[in-house]
Structure 1
C-alpha cells in the first residue's frame, strides 16, 4: 500500500530551520504554521513537500508556504517588571526556588521565551549561563533594576552595595555550574529516573545531590527546543519519580515551563472566553480538570500529559507549579482583557467567577487573587486611580453576600501590596462595619439560616480573623466582640434550654450539648463556656453513664453510645 504524502511544517529559531510538525494537506499545514509563528522565539515558518534534501536549503519548488516575522521593536528583548519581587534573597539558594526564581522568570521572560530555555536550566548549565551573561546588557540591567527597587524599599540598604551582592550571586551560580560540567552524571533520557537518582546520590562527593540532579535534568532539557516538549518530559519524570526530594526539584522545572504562555495555552486547549480559561486553569491547579480518558490513553497526546499533571496536582506534589498557574490566573484577571465575548455580560460573569474564587473564608489564590479581584472590579465600574480601587473594594462586598466570604476577601486583600498601603484604612473600616458595628448575630447573618449554621458561620469568621496577620490587639477586639455576640445569641435564643429539654432521652440531650462545644460550632470563649458548664454538671451526677444509656434497650448499642460520647468529649477538649 502506498504511503500518503506528508507536508512538513518548519519553524525558524535563532537562524536555523527545524521540522516542528507535519500535516496531510496544505490547508491544515498553513493553519498550523501560522499558530507556530505566534509562539515566542519563532521568527518564521515554512511548509515543505516531504523531501530528503537539506531542509535549511530547499528547492524553490519544495516551498509551498512561507511567512517570516517582521523584525522590529516587538522582538526586542528587554528586562521585565520587578515591582512585585519576593523578599530579598540572602543567598544563591534563595534564587533557585520559590520567590527568587519566580522573580527571575519575570525579569527575563522575554529572553527565556525567545530562546526556549527555563530559568532553572540556565542556572544549572554553564553554557546557557554564559549566553545570558554575554547577551547585550540584559544581566546588568536586570541587576540594576532589582538593586534600585530593593534599596528604595528597604531602610539602610544602598543601591551600590546591593548591586555588588547580586553580581556576586551571579558569579557564584556561574562558577558552580562550571564545576558541575565535569561531573559524570547519568542521562535521564537513557536511564530510569529512579535509578538515575540513586546513581547521582552516590556521586555527590560533597556537592548537594539535589543540585546535581537539577544539573542532570538541565542537560537533557536544554536540548529540547520547544516549550511543550520540555513540559511534557518534566511531567513524565515527575510521574515516575519515587523520591520526594527529586520530585520537589522537578517541580521547579515544571513551574518554569508553566510560566510560558504557550504551554498553558496547549494545556487549556480552545477556550471560548477568558473567564472560562481562568476557571479551567484553577481546575488544573486543583487537579480536578476533566480530561477525555480515550485521548489520555494515547501517550503522545496533550491529554496524556494533562492527565499526568492532573494527578500530581491532585496529590499536592507540585506546590511551586500550582503557584505558577495561579500567578497566571491572577495576572490575567487583573488585566484589561474582557472576560466574555459580550462586554455587557462582564459584571454577571465576574460575579459567577467570584463564587469559585471566594467559596468561603479562604480565598483561592490568596492575597494576589484578592488584589486581582479588586483591579478587575475597578475596570468593571470604570473607575481608575486610588479612588477607583477604594470604590472597587466597597462594591465587591455586596456581591459576596455571605459574611464569611467577605471576611475572606478583606483579610486576604489586607496581605496584598494594595492592602498594606493604599487600602489599609478602608479594609479596617469595612471590618468594623461587618463585625464590630452589629449588635447581634442576626445583624451579621440576616437570612433565614438555622441557629446551628449561624453559629458555625460566625465561628468560622472568628477563626479566620484569629489566624490573620492583623495586629494582636485588633484580632482580640474583633474576636472578643464576635464571642460576646455568640454568647448573647445562645442565651437570648434559649438554645441550651431547648437542647437540654428533660423530656428528651438523656443520651440525645448529652450529644446535642457536646455538639455545641465542638470547635467548628463555637470557639473557646463565653458562648462555649455556657454549654460546658451544663455538660460538666451532668457529668458530675452519680451514675451518669448508667443514666446516659438507661433508655437504650440494646446492650451493643449502649456500648456504642458510650464510646461515641467519650470520643466527642475528647474532641471538645474535656480531657485536656
Structure 2
C-alpha cells in the first residue's frame, strides 16, 4: 500500500497463472529498470508495473502503465533430437559454418520446424536467438549431449567441453545483441549483388563483413514466412546474381532449409515409398526431377538447373548426407507385403548410385548402402558389417565399381575396427584379381581390359589408403599389366613392320595416351619403345618418307609432337 498523497510503482511478475508483487519502487524509472532486469531472467514469464496513487485511506487509484509477456512455449515439445556425431568447434567462427549449422538443424529440429526458421536466422538475429535461449532446457540439453559426444571423440573432460560451448553460446548471443540496432543496407527493392557492395563499403574486415552481410540478409529472410516461401524468394535470385558471394549466401540458407525432415517431400511431391523418394532425390541432384502430386512445381523447375550446373554445392551436400542417412535407416524401401521386393529395389538404387565414375554422394552414401544391405539380410555386428560389404561388393558388375565402392567406404579417421574391416575387404578383392581377365571380365576388347586395370590402379593411387595397404596393390596391378603386355606381345603388334613407319610410331604414342598403362613398369616398357623411335638419326626422314609435299611433312611432324606432349613426353 502506498503512503497517503504519494505515488508508488508496484512491479508484478506472472507466476503460477497469476500476478504477484515482486517489489514496490518509488519512481517509474526505477520500476522500469527493475522490470527490464526481471525480463532478462529465463524463468520470468511476464512483468507488469502498476502505478498506485493514494489520495486518502479510502481513495486509491491504480493503473497499469507497463506489461510485457515473454513468448514461452511451455506446452510445446521442444526436446532435442539425438545425433551420433557433431563437428568440433574450437573457434567462434566454426559455429557459423555449414557443418555446425547442419548439426544444430537436426538437434533443434522440433523447435526450428515449429517456427520454420533456420540456424542461420537463429545465429544472426537477436530476437530469434533470445527466444530460443529463454527456453529452460532446450539449449542446455543440447550442450550437455554435444559436449559428451566431443569428450568421447577427443578424450577431453566433458565438463571443460561444456564450459567451452556455453562460453561460445554467450559470445554468439552478445554479438547478435550488439548489432541488433545497427543500421544496415536492406535487401528490399535491391539486388543481392548491390546489397553486398553496400556492405563492402561499410566494413573493411573480411570476417566482420561476412557476418554483417548475413545479419542484414537475415533481417529480410525472417519476414518470409515458412520455408517454402523462403525458397520461392531465394531461388529466383540464385540464377541472377553475378557476385559469387551472393549465390553462396543463398546456398547457405537453402542448405539449412533442406535439413528439415519434411521439406524435400514438400518440394518434390508425394513419393510411392522411401525407395521411390530416394530415386527422385537423385533425379533432383541430376537436374531431371519430375514433380508429382502436391509438389512445389515452380521450385522443382528452378532447382533442377541449379543442381545440374553445381550452383548449390552446400545444398547438394545436405541432400547427399540425407540420402546416406535414409539408406541406413529403418524405414523399408517399399510398401510391398513381399519383403523381397525391397531387395529388388535395392538393386535399382545400387545400379543408379555406383558407377565406374564413383559413388554418388561418396562415403556417406556408400556406408548407407552397406547398412541397408545388412538390414535386408538381418545381419549386424562386426561380422555383419563384413558380410554386408561383401554382399554389396559382389553385386557390382565391374572391378572398377567394386574398388570405387570399397575405397569410398574407407576413412583413415574412422575407428580401428571399421578401418581394418574395410582394408581387409580391399586386400581380399585385390588378391582375387590376379589376371587381366579377372580384373575386367566384362570388357570386350584388349584396350578396354587394360584401361580398366589402369583405372583401378589410379583409384588406389589417389585413395586415402595408408601406404602399407596401398603400395602392394599398386605394384600388383602394374605387374599384371606389365606381364600381359610382354606375354601378349602388345608392343610388337602395335609396331607392325608391315605398316608405314609413321603409322607405327603414331600407334605406339596413341597407345600410351589412351589410359591403358599402369604407373610403373608397364609405362616404362611402352615409353622405351617410343624413345627408341625418337632416337633414330633418320627419324624425321622415315616419318615423312611417304609425304611428298614439304608443308604437309612439317604439319605431320607438328601433329606428332603435339601427341607426344599430350602423352607426357618432353619434346623440347
- Structure 2 unaligned blocks of 5 or more: 1-72
SS in 2 for 1:516: helix
Q: 1:448 to 1:464 in 2, by over 3 A?
A: closer
Offset of residue 519 of structure 1: 7.0
**Match for residue 406 of structure 1 among 398, 402, 408:** 402
Query: For residues 93 and 205 of structure 1, do their structure 2 counterparts lie closer, same or farther at Cα, with a shift above 3 Å needed?
Result: same
- Between stretches 443-452 and 345-354, larger displacement belongs to 443-452
**Using a 3 Å threshold, how does the CA distance of structure 1 residues 474 and 133 change in structure 2: closer, same or farther?**
same
Distance 1:567 1:279, change over 3 A: farther
Contact 2:285-2:316 within 8 A present in 1 as well:
yes
Q: Distance in 2 between matches of 1:122 and 1:559?
A: 68
Q: TM-score, normalised by structure 1?
A: 0.81
Moved more, 436-445 or 110-119: 436-445
Change (3 A) 1:448 1:141: closer
Residue 365 of structure 2 corresponds to 369
Q: Is the 8 A contact 2:234 2:250 kept in 1?
A: yes
In the alignment, the residues of structure 2 paired with residue 505 and residue 266 of structure 1 have an alpha-carbon distance, to the nearest angstrom, of 66
The aligned runs of 1:282-321 (5 Å cut-off) are: 282-289=282-289, 302-321=296-315
The 10-residue stretch of structure 1 (380-389 or 239-248) with the greater mean CA deviation from structure 2: 380-389
1:93-136 residue CA offsets vs partner (Å, 9 max, x unmatched): 11212322221112111211112110000000011111111112
Instruction: Rate the CA distance shift 1:77–1:416 in 2: closer, same or farther, 3 A.
Output: farther
Query: Who is 1:442 aligned against?
Result: 437
How many aligned residue pairs are there? 495
Counterpart contact for 1:516–1:528, Cα < 8 Å: no
> Residues 276 and 181 (structure 1 numbering): CA distance in 2 closer, same or farther, change over 3 Å?
same
The reply on whether 1:430 has 2:429 as its aligned counterpart is no
SS of 1:283 mapped into structure 2: helix
Q: Determine if contact 2:273/2:335 at 8 Å carries over to the other structure.
A: yes
Q: Distance in 2 between matches of 1:346 and 1:134?
A: 46
Secondary structure, aligned partner of 2:179: helix
Change in 2 beyond 3 A, CA 1:550/1:78: farther
1:547 to 542, 546, 549: 542
Residue aligning to 1:507: 502
Question: In 1, are the aligned partners of 2:398 and 2:441 still within 8 Å (CA)?
Answer: no
Identify the residue that residue 226 of structure 1 maps to in structure 2: 226
Task: Name the counterpart of 1:81.
Answer: 82
1:277/1:549 CA distance change after superposition, 3 Å: farther
The answer to whether the aligner puts 1:201 opposite 2:195 as a matched pair is no
Task: State how 1:42-57 maps to structure 2 within 5 Å.
Answer: none
Please give the alpha-carbon distance, in whole angstroms, between the structure 2 residues aligned to 1:494 and 1:290.
Answer: 52
> How far, CA to CA, are the matches of 1:378 and 1:394 in structure 2?
10
Correspondence 1:191 to 2:190: yes
Q: How large is the RMSD of aligned CA atoms in angstroms?
A: 2.5
Match of 1:523 in 2: 518
Indicate whether 1:381 and 2:377 are aligned: yes
Question: Which residue of structure 2 lines up, in the alignment, with residue 175 of structure 1?
Answer: 174
Q: 1:405 to 1:420 in 2, by over 3 A?
A: farther
Superposed, which structure 2 residues align to 1:355-366 within 5 Å? 355-360=351-356, 362-366=358-362
1:15-56 Cα shifts (integer Å, max 9, x gaps): xxxxxxxxxxxxxxxxxxxxxxxxxxxxxxxxxxxxxxxxxx
**Pairing 1:276–2:240 present:** no
Q: C-alpha distance in 1, partners of 2:288/2:90?
A: 37
Correspondence 1:320-359 to 2 at 5 A: 320-342=314-336, 343-359=339-355
Deviations 1:131-185 (A, max 9, x none): 1111121111111111111112213x11111111111111221122122212222
> How far off is 1:556 after superposition?
6.7
Q: Is the 8 A contact 2:268 2:289 kept in 1?
A: no
Q: Which moved more, 1:99-108 or 1:441-450?
A: 441-450
Distance 1:359 1:200 in 2: 45
CA contact (8 A) 1:116 1:226 kept: yes
Is 1:255 paired with 2:255?
yes
For 1:473 and 1:422, locate their aligned partners in 2 and report how far apart those are by CA, in whole Å: 17
Q: Which moved more, 1:318-327 or 1:343-352?
A: 343-352
Q: Once the two structures are superposed, what CA deviation does each residue of 1:227-263 show, in whole Å capped at 9, x if it has no partner?
A: 1011222222322221112322221101011111332
| Distance in structure 2 (CA, Å) of the matches to 1:556 and 1:177 | 73
- 3-state secondary structure, aligned to 1:208: helix
Q: Is the 8 A contact 2:412 2:464 kept in 1?
A: no
Do residues 107 (structure 1) and 101 (structure 2) align? no
* Contact in 2 for aligned 1:287/1:313 (Cα 8 Å): yes
Q: Which residue is 1:298 aligned to?
A: none
Please state if 1:455 is matched with 2:482.
no
8 Å Cα contact 1:390/1:423 also seen in 2: no
TM-score (norm 2): 0.81
Give, in angstroms, the shift of residue 558 of structure 1: 4.9
In the TM superposition, residue 421 of structure 1 has moved relative to its aligned partner by 4.3
1:471 aligns with 2:466: yes
C-alpha spacing 1:448/1:323, structure 2 compared with 1 (3 Å): closer
Shift of 1:559: 4.9
- The question of whether the paired residues in 1 share the 8 Å contact of 2:268 and 2:291 is answered with no
Q: 1:474 to 1:497 in 2, by over 3 A?
A: same
- The separation in 2 between residues aligned to 1:72 and 1:340, in whole angstroms, is 39
Q: Which moved more, 1:456-465 or 1:184-193?
A: 184-193
Q: Partners of 1:354 and 1:189 in 2: how far apart?
A: 46
> What is the rounded CA distance, in whole Å, between the counterparts of 2:208 and 2:136 in structure 1?
32
User: Residues of 2 paired with 1:128 and 1:557: CA distance?
Assistant: 75
* CA distance in structure 1 between the aligned counterparts of 2:442 and 2:193, rounded to whole angstroms: 57
Change (3 A) 1:108 1:289: same
1:537 counterpart = 2:538: no
Q: Give the gaps of 5 or more residues in structure 1.
A: 1-70, 296-300
